[in-house]
Every structure is written in C-alpha cells, then in structure tokens.
Amino acid sequence: MSKPYRLSAGGSRIDRNRRVSFSFDGRQLTGFAGDTLASAVSAAGQRVFGRSFKYHRPRGVVGLGAEEMNALVGVGEGARHEPNLRATQVEIHDGLTAVSQNRWPSLTFDIGAVNNTFSRFIPGGFYYKTFMWPASFWKHVYEPFIRRAAGLGKAPEGRDPDSYEQIHVHCDVLVVGAGVAGLAAAEAAAKAGARVIIADENPVFGGLADISGGAIDGLAQADWALAKARTLASAENVHVLNRTTVVGHWHHNFLMLFERVADHDPARLRTGAPRHRLWKVRAHQVILATGAIERPIAFANNDRPGIMLASAARGMVERYGVAPGASGVLFTNNDDAYQTALVLKAAGVAVRVVDSRARADGPLPAKAREQGIPVDAGSVISAVNTSFGGLSVTDVRIASYRKGQGRVIKETRAACDFVAMSGGWNPALHLWCHNGGKIRFDDQLQTYRPDRHADRITAVGAANGSFTLASILEEASAAGSRLAGSGNVHPVPAVMQAGQQPMEPIWFAPATGKYNEGNKHFIDFQNDVTAADLELAQREGYESVEHTKRYTTFGMATDQGKTSNLNGLGVLSEATGKPIPEIGVTTFRPPYTPFSFGSMAGVLTKDLFLPIRRTAIFNWHTAQGAVFEPVGQWRRAYTYPRAGEDNHAAIAREILAVRNKVGLLDASTLGKIEIRGPDAAEFLDRMYTNVFSTLKVGKCRYGLMMNELGFLTDDGVTVRLAEDHFLMHTTSGGADRIAAWLEEWLQTEWTHYRVFVTPVTEQWSQFAIAGPRARDVLKKLAPSFDLSNEALPHMSFVEGRLGACPVRVFRISFSGELSYEVATPSGFGLGLWKAIIEAGAEFGLEPYGTEALHVLRAEKGYIVVGDETDGTTTPVDVGLDGLVSKKKADFIGKRSLEQSYLKGPNRKQLVGLLTEDPGEVLPDGAYAVRQVKDKPPMEMIGQVTSSYRSPTLGRSIAMALIENGRARMGETLSFPLPGGKVVRATITDTVFYDKEGAKLNV
C-alpha cells in the first residue's frame, strides 16, 4: 500500500550523504540529515500520522511548519517523552523515536474510529444535551469514558532529566520572523546602528523565500536570504536566533522567546546544554515579520490523509525532495498556488489544477498551461474517495462551480493519491493581537490585516498583508531604518517576481449529495469541527462567535485555529448573511505556539525552587541530625533527636533541660531593626500599641503591633540603646515585612519625623541561653560585664565581650526561665555557638529546637502571633489589653478597635484549657461546641490555638480562643473529635507554670 516517495534529486534542506535512522511507531526508518519527521516518514510512503480528537479519523500531514494541526506525534521515551509535537517541526536525528497518538490499538486499526460511524449522533455540543441520567453516571460512567477518549498524547513518565534556563535581554529592535521581510528590516535597523535581535522559529532563515519564486538583487530569493542571514550573524550589533519562537507579546513591549537549544541535537544535550531557553526581551521597537499562513478550503472530506496545503506540497518537494504522491490535484482560488503545480510538474509528479475562480489567466496559470498542466477553472472538488478506513485518497470528484452556488451540478472523476489546496493566505496576526492590537478586514485579500497598535510595534511583509516582493522589501526596509531612529531609508533591493491576479474567496465548496448533508467539511481539523457544526451553533442561538467557539471548540485545539479561524468566520458569514467583519473575531492569546512548562521554571527547580535561608549555625544543626522546620524561607532546627529517640522524646528532653538545667536555641532568624533619630521614640509610640517613649536607656520592653484593622500582626522586644536610638526585634516571619512597614509609614504618612531605619537581621547571630544554669554558662565564657541580677536584671541590656567575642546581651525570656539572648556578628556565630556548647557541657546544656521553644512559652501562657492570633484577633482578644495604651492619642490600629464588632459582645477570648484526662492532648484547631449533638451541625464557640503535652507539668495543656472565655473561668467545654469521641476540658488562666514569675528574677 505504501511506496517510497523520495525523489531522486532535489531537496535544499537535506544532505543526501548523511543518513539518519529513527523509528516511528516502532518501525525503523531512515531519512537524511535535514529532514523533518513529516518529510522522512512521508518519504517512506507513510501517510497516516495520527487520529483526530473526537471522531478518531486517520490524519496525515497538512502543513509545512507551525500551522500543522493533524500530524501530531509523541517524541522520545519514558521521562524524555514529549507529546503533541508537530511532525513538521521535529528535526530527525539518529535514534529519535516517535509514536503516533490517540489511536488504539494501532494507527491503521483504531477502535475509537467507531465515533466516526456515530458522528451523526454527536454533533458539536452534544454532551450538553445528554449523559444526565442517572445523575451519578456522569462521574462514574460517562465522564471517565469521555476523558479516556479525549486528550491526544501521553504525558512523560518520571522527572525530566533535562535542564532549562532563562535570560533577560534588552534591544532597540526585535524582529520577529526571518523571512525576506524580517531580514530586510533587520538589516536596515542594524545598518542604522540599532541593537537588533532577529528570531525565527525555523532552523533555517528565509521563511518562505525558498519556495516562493522570484529574485532579489539578481539572486534567487533563497540565496538572497542566505546571504542576508550571514551578514546579520556576523554583525556586532545583531543577535540572531533560530529555532526560536516568539511566543508572546505583553505590555510595554515585553516579549518572550522560546529557544529550542538542543532538542534537535542529542549530542549537544548530552554535554549538558539546556534543552530550552526562554528569552525575556524588552524591546524598544518590535517589527513583526511573521509572514502569512495558507488556508485550507472547506470541501467534503477535506481531512483525508494526503490532502495538504499547497505550500506544504511544494515545500515537501523543494526542501526535502519528497513527492506528496504519484499524482495530485491542486485545488486553489489564487495564483500563488500555481507555483505548487509547477514545482510538482518539474519534479515529475502528475498534477491538475482545480480553480474555483471563473477565470484563471494570470502569468502563473498561463505558465502552468504552457507546461501542459490541465486547469479546470470555475470548478471545485465535490467529493473525495478513499481506500478502506479512509487511510488514503483514491480519487476526487470535480464539479463545475459559480460563485455562491450551493449545490453540485456536474461532476467528473479524477484519480489521484493526493490533493494540494490553497484558499488564500492569512497574515500571522497573533503577536499583533496578544496585546490589544487592532485589526481590519481587507476585502481584496479577504482576510484581516494589522491596523492600529498602542505599543511600539510595526508589522511588515506578509504579516502586514503585503504579498509582493517589491512591497514587502520596501516596507520592511523603511520600517527597519525608521524604527532604529535613522532618517535615511536603507536602499531597497530590486526584485523580479511574476504578477498575480486577485484571489476570490470560497468558504464552502458544495458537495455531492442533497444539501451537503452527512458530508464533513472540516474547518477545525484537529478538534473535528465541521461547517455543519458551526451552522448548528448558530441555529441554536450560540450566535456570538465566542459562543460558537466554545460550543463547538472551533479554534481551541493545539494549533489555536491557525488554519481554521478565518474559514470558520467565512462559514458563519454565509450562514448568517452577515459580512465577515460583523461576525467578529475570537481573542488571540499567547502563546503563538505551545512552549514547555520546564522553560517557564528555568533553573528554578529542585534546590533552586524558592530560596532556603540558612543561619550561620545551619551546617552544625545538620551535622547534629536536627529535624528542620520551614519558617518563612528559613529552615530552623525543630528538634535534635538522639539515636533511638523519636521527635516527641527529644522535644521533652530539650524542654526539661531548659527547665532544670540550661538550653541553647539558635534564634538568629528573629528580625532586628535599628531605629534612630530625634523622633524615634515618638515614632515607636505610633507603631506599637504600647508606650515606648518612657523606656529607659539600656532597658527592653515587649511590644505589640497591629495593622490598621486593629488586628495583631507582630510582636517582639525593643531595647533602647540611646535616647534617640532603638533596636527592635520582630518575629522571624515578620522581619522584612515590618522593616518595610516602618519605612512606609515614615515615607508616606509621618514624613516630618526625623527617623532612620536600618534592618540588621543578618548582621547578628543570636542565641537564647535559657535555664537556671544560664548565668553559670555565661560566666564561664569570661564576660566583660557584670552578670549579676542587680547589674543586669530581667529586661535589661548590655554590650561587651564574651572572651574575645563581641556581643550584645539581652536579658529577656520566652521560656519563663532565667535567660539571656546573646547576639554576635554572624561571622562569629558558629564559633560562639560552639564555645557555649563547650562551656555548657558541665551544666548539662543541651541545644533545643523550635518545638521545645513553643511548648516552653505555652507553659508560660505567652502568645505566638500566628498561633494564638489568626489575622482577625485583637490584642484585647488575647488578653493583652494592658499593652494597649489608653493615653496615646494615636497609634496604628487604634481607631479600628473602636468599631462596633471589635469591641462587641461575644468576642472570642484567649483562655487556658486543662483536659479532664491529663493524658489527653487536644488536637490543634479542635472546636468547642455549645452543645454536643448526635450529629452535625453543632454550634461552635471557639477553637484550640495551641496544644501540647507539657513534660514540665506532666500533663497536657492548651490555649484556646473561646467566646466570652474570660467570663467562663472554671467552665468545662466539650470538643467533639472525629469518630465521635468528645474531649472535655476546663477553662483556666493561660499561665500554667510559675505564675508569679519567680524564675525570671533570679
């Protein structure tokens, strides 16, 4: 059934001396270096590349490049598999493995093809009308079936072994597309001195130059293009990028370029080159020279394998030396496509032309006739016949046609094994429209062209609807010079090209049979949307083109309607009697063609995915086998289990060490901010809820911060270093936020305050030495200052040295024990840390982690912002009314505390909880209910905010926010847990340990 189609000569892209072996669906094949998968497989005589989305019809290659919608394949194996690639863009290399998609069990025999038989019952939008009974069947029967049938290719298996990256570049002029228009524009811009980037999605520059005839400056178009590509590549101010698709255009001339660095070259990939690179380009000016895309013609069964675009047929022959078949019919409505007939003829392939125009007598048709090519003007293809299963074309019917004619009158049969079609050309407007460019309908070209754009972007060449070489080169050169800021227009090269007669649109070719019923005129091939589907959507009231699109899925396939959009509008126009511009267009959205998620992640995966912040002690923690906990971007030691110990045991041990001996905590992550200026104290009075202007030099004070809504956002200890100088501590998570917050108020509201703020968090390593023996440990380190309770009482501060190490010591406590926080410049951090460990050994010092810290503070009833508070909690709610100044006229959040709901009745208030069973630990977040019922719903009156097993007290403790909690001391609450268990707990004070604070002042 298949025969080889490689021609004995020709093929500008291939190197016949370099054979390449690859496989397709397990079949070993050889092609030549330079072949695409499409050309190499076609050369081997294979027509069918895949099955369509809905009807599972066999499909072959239609296009030449990015517009391909049928021949989608999966390439590579296992974790390197990539689905849905266009065979027309896959460059073959030795060892490449490709598979067809959406077929089972095989390409030629596919069970899903029954859908085609039933296609009459499943028109556009059918699923909205059925699959509703019984209701549960949707989830369990219908939907799984639909999902399995849909979906095209398969996902890879496993983690991607390849790498990706990104780069930012700025340029004066970005030229998109390196056809003759792009090359001419880039050259003119470069000559004018601009920094130019020119990118093209293809491996080779030149666009369609090589298959478009004509000459420039006495050279064949392709040779001219090659010469220009060389000049540009060697220029100092130009960067050329091939295999690079400009995928999107965003505000302010930001564009994204998707470079396939090594897909085509496994050897390069093996060296470690990134597979893809995403270029983020900020261009002062953009020149769109993206060319045009040929459109198919809607005739019955126009989707059969072997039916392709005229440009694709001639590209096959000229670029790859592959004949699309043994004999073909060219169906056109324009002169340009006659070049395909001429090329085929020259390659020895029999061809005849069917032209829907009443007359075809321009120079190209004339030449065709001269060459003996039969031309049927005023005709259309009215039927396509195939071999069994629709796998290949056997013949077509040709019917006479007059413009607007709805049904077939006279037919003849023509044997052929392929069809080339051309319904005219559509400028590639995608990038023009991504960012709001306006377009207008051109009656002569019967297509949309660029109109106005708010950004600095200009379309030239075929992208601008200019199809003659003279006009392309003229506007491209002019744009290049002008946009590079040069007054001199670069000389426009001289051209030679055959003239062309105007095309005539044909949106729907009448077919054999009554009213064309049952015939499929495909508009969107990949999604199996036919002209009848579009008409049905209209009849059912889905009139807006956007409704039609969504109801039928027309234009929503992986080609995003590159070949179908305009044909669809043509059909809609004929169905409604409205001119095309009144139909409207759907929105063009990025990307131009799909690009990899891997490239969007770039190198930011694995260890580089979101930074991890490390304290100076990080490696020590790791070496000790610490379990880590993420706190913001920090990794903090959670606990240090010893051999044979689980986390619980380790945490209990650490807590008891602090309570009975001494512990050491890496608290370096705490935010630290220096604040200085004559108005510093007053400024702090505004930022904190409590008063700081009364703080004595050398003393520390705990402060609360609210946001303007009156909710707690941060807390910490601030020390007054001098009359006009403070050092503020914030929570670890709040450090950057609070520093920015202070700056913001200074810069935007209280601009008259003379205050400077400098965050110094990372300058300091800071450790808490806590426990009854803390002073002993410090003493051993030879402090340069007096450590006695009198000289350095609770909530005071001293600066000096521990041995040789410069330190700041804060006598503050978050554990309720005698405690010093010692800060030293981070470079000394590890040294000091080790010294403390060493000095502490004889006192039983143990490092403790964040979980022990949390239990210790809970035993003391200290809140953690973010645990006891949740963004809707006020200082009053957590019982810290005492820290909300009544005297200060204004501070942040003060006014909101007056809002009725915030001071209303029934606020949830922070209380302690003791479970009836001391061994029972309430789950975090458990809710108390007003009344326990057999089943939900039950009315909730508050929730547990922190809950721990306290090794100190030998029982569980918890804190909770409970409706009117403070008025309910002694009341017992019920917490219904999953599985029906109800835990009962009694409301108490929040301080469970050392209520008098005796341990602090020793």
Partner 1 sequence: MSELSHESPLAGVTPPPGLSVSLREITDRGMIDLRGHGSDQAFLSAVKGALGLDLPLRPRTSAGSDDLRVLWLSMDQWLILCPRTKAAEILAALRSALTGVHSLAVDVSDMRAVIRIEGGGCREVLMKGTSLDLLDAEYRPGCCRRMRFAEIAALLSVVEDNVFDVYVFRSYARYAWDFVCATAREPARVRLFGAQDAPA
Partner 2 sequence: MLVVKCPVCGAEGDETDFHAGGQAHVRRPASHDPAHVSDEEQRDYLFIRINPKGLHFERWRCDRGCGKWFHAARDTVTLEFKAFYGITELPPADVIAEAKGQWAEYFAKRLKAEKQA
Partner 3 sequence: MKPRYSLFSLARNAMNYHKDWERAWRSPNPKPEYDAVIIGAGGHGLASAYYLAKNHKMTNIAVIEKGWLGGGNTGRNTTIIRSNYLQDPSIAIYELARSLYEDLSQDLNYNVMFSPRGVLMLCQTQHEFRAFQRTAHANRLAGLDCRMVTPQEVKEIVPIVNDDPNCRYPILGAYYQPRGGTGRHDAVAWGYARGADAMGVDIIQNCEVTGIQRDGGRVTGIETTRGVIRTRKIGVVTAGHVSTIMDMAGVRMPIESQCLQALVSEPIKPVIDCVVMANTVHGYISQSDKGELVIGGGTDPYNNYSQRGSFPALEHTVTALVETFPIISRLRMLRLWGGIVDMTGDRSPIISKTPVEGLYVNCGWGTGGFKAIPGSGWVFADTIANDRPHPIAEPFGLNRFQEGRLIDESVAAAVAH
Ligand X SMILES: Cc1cc2nc3c(=O)[nH]c(=O)nc-3n(C[C@H](O)[C@H](O)[C@H](O)COP(=O)(O)O)c2cc1C
- Determine the interface stretch with ligand NAD among 39-47, 287-295, 380-388, 899-907 (rule: CB under 6 A): 287-295
611 to 650, contacts with partner 3 by CB under 8 A?
Answer: 612, 629-630
Please state, in angstroms and rounded to a whole number, the distance separating the CA atoms of residues 758 and 735.
12
Identify which of residues 17 and 900 has a Cβ nearer to partner 3 in the complex.
900
* Single residue of 28, 117, 136, 587 touching ligand X by CB under 6 A: 587
Question: Which one of 540-548, 589-597, 779-787, 886-894 is the stretch in contact with partner 2 (CB under 8 A)?
Answer: 886-894
Pick the binder of partner 3 from 406, 886, 978, 981 (CB under 8 A). 978
Tokens of residue 789, six digits: 């309770």
Evaluated on CA atoms 87, 88, 91, 93, the torsion sign reads positive
Given 3, 18, 27, 148, the residue binding partner 3 (CB under 8 A): 148
How is residue 278 written in tokens? 């995403």
Binding mask 197-216 for ligand NAD (x = CB under 6 A): --xxxx----xxx--x-x--
With CB under 6 A, what is the number of residues at the site for ligand X?
Answer: 5
Ordered DSSP codes for 395-440: EEEEEE--TT--S---EEEEE-SEEEEE--EEE--HHHHHTT--EE
Is 721 a binder of ligand X (CB under 6 A)?
no
Residues 221-280 touching ligand NAD, rule: CB under 6 A, are 221, 245-246
- CA–CA gap between residue 304 and residue 57 (Å, rounded): 8
In order of 268, 584, 605, the CA distances from 79 in angstroms are 18, 43, 16
Question: Three-class SS of residue 952?
Answer: coil
Q: How many residues bind partner 3 (CB under 8 A)?
A: 111
- Residue span binding ligand NAD (CB under 6 A) among the ranges 14-22, 423-431, 562-570, 938-946: 423-431
CA dist., res. 92 & res. 946, Å (int) = 62
Asked if 890 is part of the footprint of partner 2 (rule: CB under 8 A), the reply reads yes
- Measured from the CB atom, the residue of 126 and 702 that comes closer to partner 3 is 126
Phi, psi of 571 (to 5 degrees): -65, -45
* For partner 3, the closer CB: 788 or 931: 931
Residue 470 touches which member of ligand X, partner 3, partner 1, none, C-beta under 5-8 Å by kind: none
Element (H, E) at 39: helix 37-43
On whether the CB atoms of residues 59 and 102 are closer than 8 A, the answer is no
Angle at which helices 531-539 and 545-552 cross, to 10°? 120
Q: How far is the CB of 459 from ligand NAD (least distance, A)?
A: 9
Work out whether 688 is an interface residue with ligand NAD (CB under 6 A). Answer: no
Smaller CB distance to partner 3: residue 127 or 756? 127
689 binds, among ligand X, partner 3, partner 1, none (CB under 5 to 8 A by kind): none
Helix axes 680-687, 735-748, angle to 10 degrees: 110
Judged by CB under 8 A, does residue 694 bind partner 2?
no
Span of 171-179, 189-197, 390-398, 613-621 interacting with ligand NAD by CB under 6 A: 171-179
The values of phi and psi at residue 61, to 5°, are: -75, 135
Neighbour tally for 725: CB within 10 Å: 16
**Shortest CA distance to 618 belongs to which of 812, 762, 733, 731?**
762
Nearer Cβ to ligand X, position 88 or 586? 586
Per CB under 6 A, the list member of 556, 600, 691, 938 interacting with ligand X is 556
Please state, as a whole number, how many other Cβ atoms lie within 10 Å of the Cβ of residue 297.
26
Place of tokens 């990706």: 164
Measured from the CB atom, is 165 or 355 closer to partner 3? 165
Residue 802: which of ligand NAD, partner 1, partner 3, none does it interact with, CB under 5 to 8 A by kind? partner 1
Q: Does 234 bind partner 2 (CB under 8 A)?
A: no
User: Residue from 281, 343, 384, 431 that binds ligand NAD (CB under 6 A)?
Assistant: 431
Residues in the chain: 1002
The DSSP result for 866-924, as a single string, is TTT--SS--TTTTT-GGGS-SS-S--TTTGGGGSTTTTSTT-EEEEEEEESSTTPPPPT
Restricted to residues 900-959, the positions that interact with ligand X (CB under 6 A) are: none
Contact in structure between 675 and 756 (CB atoms under 8 Å)? yes
Distance CA 666, CA 834 (A): 12
Least separation in angstroms between residue 612's CB and partner 3 is 7
Angle formed by the axes of helices 221-234 and 180-191, to 10°? Answer: 40
> What span, in angstroms and rounded, lies between the C-alpha atoms of 32 and 170?
38
Among 254, 745, 750, 785, binds partner 3 (CB under 8 A): 254
Minimum CB distance to partner 3 smaller for 434 or for 811: 434
Residue 976 partner contact from partner 2, ligand X, partner 3, none using kind-dependent CB cut-offs of 5 to 8 Å:
partner 3
Q: Is 550 exposed, middle or buried (0-12, 13-18, 19+ CB in 10 A)?
A: middle
CB of 922 closer than 8 Å to CB of 913: yes
Q: Looking at 76-84, 248-256, 327-335, 582-590, which segment touches ligand X (CB under 6 A)?
A: 582-590
User: Minimum Å distance from CB 869 to partner 3?
Assistant: 9
* Rounded CA separation 493/363 (Å): 23
Asked whether position 749 contacts partner 2 by CB under 8 A, the answer is: yes
Please state the closest distance from residue 753 (CB atom) to partner 2, in A. 12
- Give the contact letters, 258-297, x = binds to partner 3 (CB under 8 A), - = no: ----------------------------------------
Q: Of these partners, ligand NAD, partner 2, ligand X, none, which one is at the site of residue 179 (CB under 5 to 8 Å by kind)?
A: ligand NAD
| Tokens of residue 282, six digits | 């900020």
Q: How far is CA 881 from CA 205, 666, 878, 885, 913, in A?
A: 73, 31, 8, 8, 20
217 is a site residue for partner 3 (CB under 8 A): no
Does residue 866 interact with partner 3 by CB under 8 A? yes
Verify binding: residue 271, ligand X, rule CB under 6 A: no
Cα–chain center distance at 420: 38
What is the DSSP-derived secondary structure letter of residue 139? I
- Considering the complex, state which of residue 690 and residue 824 has its C-beta at the smaller distance from partner 1: 824
Q: Quickly count: other Cβ atoms within 10 Å of residue 521's Cβ.
A: 24
Output 152 or 787, the one with its CB closest to ligand X: 152
Q: What does the block give as tokens for 912?
A: 């302690």
Interaction site with partner 2 (CB under 8 A): 250-252, 254, 282, 436, 454, 708-709, 743-744, 747-751, 889-890, 894-896, 899-900
Interaction site with ligand X (CB under 6 A): 556, 560, 586-587, 589
Interaction site with ligand NAD (CB under 6 A): 65, 176-182, 199-202, 207-209, 212, 214, 221, 245-246, 289-292, 336, 425, 428, 431, 461-463, 467, 469, 472, 500, 592
